[in-house]
Each structure stands twice: as C-alpha cells, then as structure tokens.
Structure 1
Amino acid sequence: MMVILTACGGGAGSSTAGGATAEAAAATGESAKTTDGAAPVKVVWWHAMSGELGGVVDELVKRFNESQDDVEVEAVFQGTYDESLNKLKTAMGSGTGPTMIQTYEIGSRFMIDSGAITPMQQFIDGESYDVSKLEPNILGYYTFDDRLYSMPFNTSNPILYYNKDAFKAAGLDPENPPKTYEEVEKAAKTLTKDGMTGGSFAIYGWFMEQLLANQGAELLNNSNGRAGMADQAQLGAPAAVRTLEWWKKMVDAGTMLNLGRKTDDTKKAFAAGQIAMTLDSTASLRGIVQAAEGKFEVGTAPLPKPTAADADKGGVVVGGASLWIMNDRPEAEQQAAWSFIKFLAEPATQAYWHVNTGYFPITKQAYDEDLVKENLKKYPQFQTAVDQLHGTEPTPATQGAVMGVFPEARQLTETAIEEALTGAATPQDALDRASAEITQKIQEYNSTVAQ
C-alpha cells in the first residue's frame, strides 16, 4: 500500500508509561493475582502522537497507571500514522505486535478487513457500556453495519481561519466571515492588497473530502462504501469539479496563493500576515491563535458551502484516529486494554485531552468540566468547531468514505488538485483521471478481501 503523511499524525519523539483500572482487572480475573503481589496485566499501546501531543499521552497513561495496581500500560511511539500501520502489518501473525494501536480514520477499512482486531462492540455488549454519552457524530465514522469497531480517540475537523484585523482594514465585517464560495472569492479579492494575499489552502486531500461532504456529496458509490464495499470513486462528479474550479479561479486571479501540500506552510504564512484566510484542522486552533498573539486577532468560521442554498446540506467528517484492540493477544490483556480505553473516554480525561491538544472531547459530559469551560473562555474561537460538529447530521456523506486504499486515494486526489491549480490539466480532466485510478485501486484491493 502506498503511504502518505497525514495532518493529524506524529513526527518524532517517544513515550512510555503504564496503567489501568481495578474494574478491568476484575473482569479478567487478574485482580486476586495482583493483590497477592503478582505482576499486573501489561498492555502495550502503539501510538502516533509526537512532540507535545506525545507528552499529553504520557501524562494520561501515567495517571491511569497510578490509579490502580492491576494493569500497566506502556505507550510506545511508532512514528507517523503510516509508519505505525506499516509496522503493524509487519508484526501481524508474529506475536510481536501491540495489545492496542492508534490508527488514523482512513485506515479503518483495512483494520476491519485484516481480521486482526476484536471489535469494540464486543466489549460494549459484554457489559452494556453506555455509548449514548459519546458524541454521535464522532461515533458515526467508526460504526459499520451498526457495530463500533474501534473507539474514537483524537478527533478534529477543518474550519476557516481568518485575520480579523485584515478584514477590518479592508472594509469587511470581521464578525461576518464568508459563508459561501462566492463570498470567500469576493473577500479574497478585497483582502489582496498591501503585500497581503486573500488566502491559501494547502493541497490536502482531506480538505477536498470535507468540502464535498459539506455539500452532501459522496466520494464513493454504495453510500460512500457504507451500504456495501465501494467499487467506484466519484471524484469527477459535479460537486468536486465545481469546488476545484472555484479554488483554481482564485489562484489564477492571484487572490489565493498555492503554497503546496504542507499545511504547516499555510499556517506560517497566515501567522506572518502574508495571507488573510486559510483552512486548517480544529486541532491546530490553539497553535494558530498563539502564533498570531500580539499581531492580529484570529477569527474562525465554518467550512464554506458552495451557495446559500446549500446551507442545510451536508456537514463535516471527523478526522483524526481511533483505538483498536488486537485479537491475537490473551483475553485478559484485551480486557485490560478495554479498561484503559474506558478511562480515556471519561469526561475528566477527555477534558484534559481536549484542553491540552485541541482535539474534540469524544464524551459529551466533558463540556461540563470547568477545565473545558475555562479553555473556551480563553479560546472562544473553538465554539465554531463545536457548533460545526454538533450541527452536522449523520449521513453517508458526513460519516465519511470507507475504502481499503484510502491513503493512496488521498494522494491521487492531491495530485489532481496540483495539476489543476498549476494548469497542467483542467479540473474536470484531472479529477476524472484521479477517479479512474482510485477506482482501479479499490477494485484491486477488493479482490484480495474475502467477502
């Protein structure tokens, strides 16, 4: 499988720690052993959180380990999402893999088809765990055939960031950001002056996926691969062509810069005041606001719709990653991992995770925690992200596409965007070619999977 680097993955660093709860240990029958001085059940967790994110992971594991003596979790950084998944593929069947692994959302189809995981639904049903306390729009992505296969962990979606000071200086209302493609285009034109360009969107396949879902369009057939295995990509459909033509029109007009595929490059340009608008993940919010401190005020707005008539259509797809339990580990070890996963889903844990990373809480009650309330006062821009998530109605489009070759598909989408923006091909031709290649790869993958 061709691999690419995704925006919500890790970079460099490592983390180790340990933990669990007495409840899980009791479920495995290990409680008596550890109480008598035997070694706790060990859970090895492979993750892709680097840098500051890795530090937060360390802290959560430390808190979990210190809460009891029956289970010890060891968190091991394995590189980017792609690197971690490739290491898992190598370890499958060898007995050297982890108890649980964090895998990006676009790896879900592969994880299910691998036959190497124990569906989260098995643990949920085993003790009637109440999933109603979790965010339904986040659960929706990871639910297939009415079964939850993994537990959401780090979750984000994209929003529009804009320079409020630049809006005011250009005579635009900083409290009324653009909501449609046409309004973005007009604002970009007005903002392009005095060394500043209206905006820049990184060439990132995730953004195209989100802009399609935001107008209720599906990326794949068979209800985005959720009513059955998808075997056709729909990237050349009118919704995608309209979106790329709009994007290209602004680049051609010089009101939108093409800064390439790295989201970090658009973030730096935004912080430097070189561009007035950009798209980025909600997980980047705190960093973007902090980078602009003392220079300008950052505004946030929902992802734009094609037209005002599309206001009630579609919504955003959650991005990020979830946690999977591997089925080649002893039952006691799997139960211990489930206990740790429940700890991670607790409101207080989610509040700490959200405030220190910018990822959404997956538990609704986390918003009642004082820590979250105080953070929202400090970063009111995050309300846009919360409202956008809660305002999205689950549909096949907003639940997200499912295919076993998603990393490759995303890269092919980026190549098509690049070709269109640089004039190497028309948006229609570039997207048609990418759609045909994605379709071929999907069908090749499907042929290898037992139905």
Structure 2
Amino acid sequence: MKPFQRTISIPVYLLFIIVLFSLVGISYSIWGKQSVVRGSEPGDGQEPPVQEVQKVLWWHSMSGDNGKVVDKLVNGFNATHKDIQVEAVYQGSYYDTLTKLKASIGSTIGPTMVQVYDIGTRFMIDSQAITPIQHFMDLEKYAIGQLDDAILDYYTVGDTLYSMPFNASNPLLYYNKEMFAAAGLNPEKPPVLYEDVAQAAQKLTKNGVWGAYFGNHSWYMEQFLANQGAELVNQGNGRDGLATQWQMNGEAGVKALAWWKGLVDKKVAFYAAGKSDDSKKAFAEGRVAMIFDTTAALRDILETVDGKFEVGTGFFPQAEVKDGVGVGVGGASNWIMNNKPEAQQQAAWTFMKYLTEPEQQAVFHINTGYFPIAEAAYELPSVKENMAKYPQFKTAIEQHNAAKSNQAAQGGVLGVYPDARKLTEHAIDQALSGLQSPQAALDGAAAAVNAKIAEYNKTLH
C-alpha cells in the first residue's frame, strides 16, 4: 500500500499549492478592482488614476518668423497643461488653409481648431461645421471685457461671437525718413491725405528712386472704402442680412482707384503688371520711398532694413479729413469645429483663452507687429520697453484707437469674399495698366462678384 499512498500524496500537495495561489490571485483582483472604484486614498501607496490627455490639432497660417512665435506659444501651453496637448500644423496661406478646411468638412481628418482670415467669417458661419465661441463663453460666464471691443466686433454677427480673435492688424504707410529729409519733407510728419501723398511722391521720385510702390491688393481698396465711411457690401456690410451687392464700384472706390492710377500715370508710383508684390524688398533696398503694408510686416521690415535708414510709419491715407471713420481690423481668428468630441472642443477653448492672455499677446505683438487683442498687454513692461525702442509699433495702435466703431470699419461679411478679392485685383490691374477706366474696371468686377454672391446665397436655402 505504501507505493500507492506515495503516488497520491504528490498530486494532492501540488493541488493544495495551486488552490492557495488561486485564492490569493482572486483576492488581489477583487481588492484591485475595489481600489479603482474607490480611487487611491492618501497614503495607501497607490498611484492616482491617469487622466486622459486631450489632443487638439490646430491648423494655422503663420509662416516664417511668425510661425516660430506660434510654436513658442504652443510649447508654453503644453508645458503648463499636462492634460491637453496642442499640435500646431502650418497649412499654407490663409487661402490655402480655408481651401483645405472646406475639403475636410464632413470627414474626420480635419482640425479641432483652425485659424481663418477675417474674410472667411461668413462662410464659416454658414458651414454649420463650427461651435460658436459664444457657447463656451456663456457656459462659464467668461469675462470678455478684457479684450478689445473693436476687434471683437468684426467677428460678432448679430449678438453672437463666432470665433476668438487671435492676430489683429491694419494697413500702414511705411516710408524712408532719410529720403523724406533729403526731399525737403518733414520726416516726422508722414502724409495723410491723398493729395499729400501725391505731392510727397512727386518730390521723392528722382535719381532712380520711385516715390511710391503700392502692391496690387484688394485689401487696400477695401480699407480706402472703410476710411471714407463707405460699406463694402449692402445689408449693413452684410451684418443686417445676407449681402447681395458688392459696392466697391461706388463713389468711394472709384475715387481711390482714380487717385492711385494718377500716381502711376505721373510716373511717381511704380506699377508691376502681372508681377508679385516685391515692394518690401524694393523699400529695404532703397529703390522706393513709400509703400503700403500690414502692421504684421513691421518686425520683418525693420529686420530687413537692418538700420540702413530709419523707417517711418504713418496712418493709411484718406481722401479727406472726415470724423467718425477709420480703417478696419484685419488679421484672423480661431474657430472650433463641431465634429470633434465635446472634451476635445473644451480643450481647444482652454487653449484659445490662453492665447488671449496679456502675457501671450505681448509675446506675439513684440515679435510680429500684430497689435494685442488683450488691452492689459499694453501695461506690461516688455511691451512698454519695445515701444520705447521701436516707436513704429505705436502707429498701428494709434490708428486702431482713432477709428470709430461703425459698420464700415467692422468690415464686410460675405460668403464669396476670397473670390471677390481676386476679381477686385484683376480690376485694379485693368485700371492701372490703362486698359479700362477705374469706373469700368470696378463695374465689371462688381457684376462678377454679384453673380457669385447670388449663386452662393442660393445654396443656403
């Protein structure tokens, strides 16, 4: 019997060990599940549950040095927000970004958040692909009073703020102070009226130097309308209802283009038909005395000139002195797409608020030339020091503050704005080259734009 008992005793012993370890495992499993439900108590030696990181894909159009500043802001946010990680991806020009966004709508490949230039506002609203910023503001009673009213006005249609302003700009007159002094002009007093600019250009044009070179941009014509108090489209500049008429061929637009053509005809303003705008390059090389450009180009212009001469900045020219008018806000804003999970949209909103804080706006302003949308940024030592060193930064801000709030300065709102700009630039070419009169060129553009507006509006019904 002993052999038989010996053969049985071994498996019973092993079975006992197996059962024992199984009971320990079950107990550990139950305890572990309970600990997950309860959460880790202080001092129990367990790691707190890991919080899910929300990823925000941000499409933007900031290139070159401006893009580097964007990357700096994103890195700063990611370093201080472990539960949110923003990935900023450059998509090309404003036009390119909007084109890519249109192609992505209805799919899952698009961004959580996108930077869209001012003229994309109507399309973005009509797309029904966005969550208005007003929604997030109302939920948490966000104090928007810290932000610049005039900038907010552009992106507010009706009583709704649809997007959060990010980079704000306006057009400036840049001029060579040394050339002004040599021509007998006051370098501290840039010309403001059309006639003053024409007289200055006449005096500055000599020895192979052109008095002026204004790039062929529809934005300049749009601003010429705004600072005459004229609206770009009907229906209160598209803010009281859907616009149906492009109005650049009215008195204000014809006056501006006729003045511009006069400078070209007198050979005191350079005009490059069919060529890209290289006015900044010509200005930095001392081949032209005055140019138009956005305030966002200020840092780049100063660095390119690199002290070869002193750069002056002045207000964008006006047809006549007129109270209650001024240029409108340019630039872009950030939008949140509604096809992303709610938590992801909320993360994008958190990032947007970060970008509007005075500290971030100060960094962006100093390194680009865009002016702050947070008014408290002007009080920061870094901004004050920068303005003391580079007084040119004050001009855009002073011009912005001088503009009165009205629908002309708020800017036009229409769904085919990018197309309207291309047609307007073609009209400018037709007029400056002498192929058509300013009136005829602008009439032709208006007819083409109106047809596109009508076609667009039909898609909304």
TM-score normalised per structure 2 = 0.88
For residues 292-326 of structure 1, give each alpha carbon's deviation from its aligned partner in whole angstroms, at most 9, with x where no partner exists.
23321111110111023x2x142111111110001
Amino acid at match of 2:434: G
For residue 391 of structure 2, give the secondary structure of its aligned residue in structure 1: coil
Partner of 1:186: 199
Question: AA paired with 1:301?
Answer: G
Question: Contact between 1:199 and 1:255, CA under 8 Å: does it hold in 2?
Answer: yes
> Given the superposition, is the C-alpha separation of residues 106 and 51 from structure 1 closer, same or farther in structure 2, using an over 3 Å criterion?
same
The SS at the match of 2:128 is coil
Shift of 1:263: 7.0
Contact 1:203–1:261 (CA<8 Å) still a contact in 2? no
Deviations 1:5-54 (A, max 9, x none): xxxxxxxxxxxxxxxxxxxxxxxxxxxxx962243111111111122222
Residue of structure 1 in register with 2:38 after alignment: none
Q: SS at the partner of 1:241?
A: helix
Partner of 1:20: none
Contact 1:259 1:266 in 2 (8 A): no
Residue in 2 aligned with 1:418? 429
User: What is the CA distance between 1:289 and its match in structure 2?
Assistant: 2.0
Structure 2 match to 1:346: 357
Which residue number in structure 1 is paired with residue 93 of structure 2? Answer: 80
Separation (CA, whole Å) in 2 of partners of 1:200 and 1:156: 20
- Distance (whole Å) between structure 1 residues aligned to residue 350 and residue 273 of structure 2: 43
Report if aligned partners of 2:361, 2:373 keep a CA contact under 8 Å in 1: yes
Of 358-367 and 84-93, more deviation after overlay is shown by 84-93
Could you tell me which residue of structure 2 aligns to residue 434 of structure 1?
445
For 1:96, the equivalent position in structure 2 comes to 109
* Percent of aligned pairs with the same amino acid: 55
| The one of 313, 331, 346 aligned to 2:342 | 331
Q: Name the counterpart of 2:409.
A: 398
Q: Once superposed, what is the RMSD of the aligned Cα atoms?
A: 1.4
Displacement after TM superposition at 1:364 (Å): 0.3
Per-residue deviation, 1:87: 1.8
Partner Cα separation in structure 2 for residue 124 and residue 328 of structure 1:
19
Q: Residue 113 of structure 2 contacts residue 348 of structure 2 at CA under 8 Å; is this kept in 1?
A: yes
Question: What residue is the counterpart of 2:165 in the other structure?
Answer: 152
Instruction: Give the Cα separation in 2 of the matches to 1:225 and 1:261.
Output: 31
Q: Indicate the SS of the match to 2:443.
A: helix
Cα distance change, pair 342–217 in 1 and its aligned pair in 2 (3 A): same
Q: Does 1:381 align with 2:400?
A: no
Which whole-Å CA distance do the structure 1 matches of 2:94 and 2:292 have between them? 22
Summarize deviations over 1:401-423 as a string: whole Å, max 9, x none: 01000011001111111000000
In structure 1, the residue matched to 2:233 is 220
Give 2:102's aligned amino acid.
K
Counterpart residue type for residue 163 of structure 2: S
Partner letter of residue 329 of structure 1? K
3-state DSSP class of the match of 1:198?
strand
Distance 2:146 2:274 in 1: 37
CA shift, 1:367, in A, is: 0.7
1:62 deviates by: 0.9
CA distance in 1, matches of 2:198, 2:316: 14
Query: Which residue number corresponds to residue 79 of structure 2?
Result: 66
Partner of 2:14: none
Matched pairs, number: 415
- Aligned match for 1:307, one of 311, 320, 328: 320
Q: Which residue number in structure 1 is paired with residue 420 of structure 2?
A: 409
Cα distance in structure 2, aligned partners of 1:92 and 1:303: 38
> Aligned with 1:300: secondary structure?
strand
Residue 241, structure 1, aligned to residue 254, structure 2: yes
Q: After TM superposition, list the pairs within 5 Å mapping 1:251-330 onto structure 2.
A: 251-260=264-273, 264-308=277-321, 310=322, 312-330=323-341
Deviations 1:186-222 (A, max 9, x none): 1111111111111010010000001110111111111
Aligned match of 1:200: 213
Give yes or no for contact 1:286–1:358 (8 Å, CA) kept in 2.
yes
The whole-number CA distance in structure 1 between the counterparts of 2:81 and 2:61 is 26
Distance 1:107 1:262, change over 3 A: farther
Q: What SS is found at the alignment partner of 2:278?
A: helix
Closer/same/farther in 2, CA of residues 237 and 91 from structure 1, 3 Å limit: same
Q: Deviations over 1:350-373 (max 9, x none)?
A: 111111121111100011111111
Cα 1:406–1:203 shift into 2, 3 Å: same
1:121 aligns with 2:121: no
Q: Which stretch shows the higher mean deviation, 99-108 or 253-262?
A: 253-262
- The separation in 1 between residues aligned to 2:141 and 2:224, in whole angstroms, is 37
Q: Return the alpha-carbon distance in structure 2 between the equivalents of residues 434 and 99 of structure 1.
A: 36
Instruction: Provide the rounded CA distance (Å) in 2 between the counterparts of 1:307 and 1:72.
Output: 51
Aligned residue for 1:360?
371
Q: Is the 8 A contact 2:225 2:248 kept in 1?
A: no
Amino acid corresponding to residue 370 of structure 1 in structure 2:
P
The 2-side partners of 1:264 and 1:319 are apart by 19
Q: How does 1:132-171 map onto structure 2 within 5 Å?
A: 132-171=145-184
Matched residue type, 2:415: G
TM-score scaled by structure 1? 0.90
Which stretch shifts more, 230-239 or 257-266? 257-266
Aligned partner letter, 2:340? R
**Does the aligned pair in 2 maintain the 1:213–1:316 contact within 8 Å?**
yes
Q: Any idea what SS the aligned residue of 1:182 has? A: helix
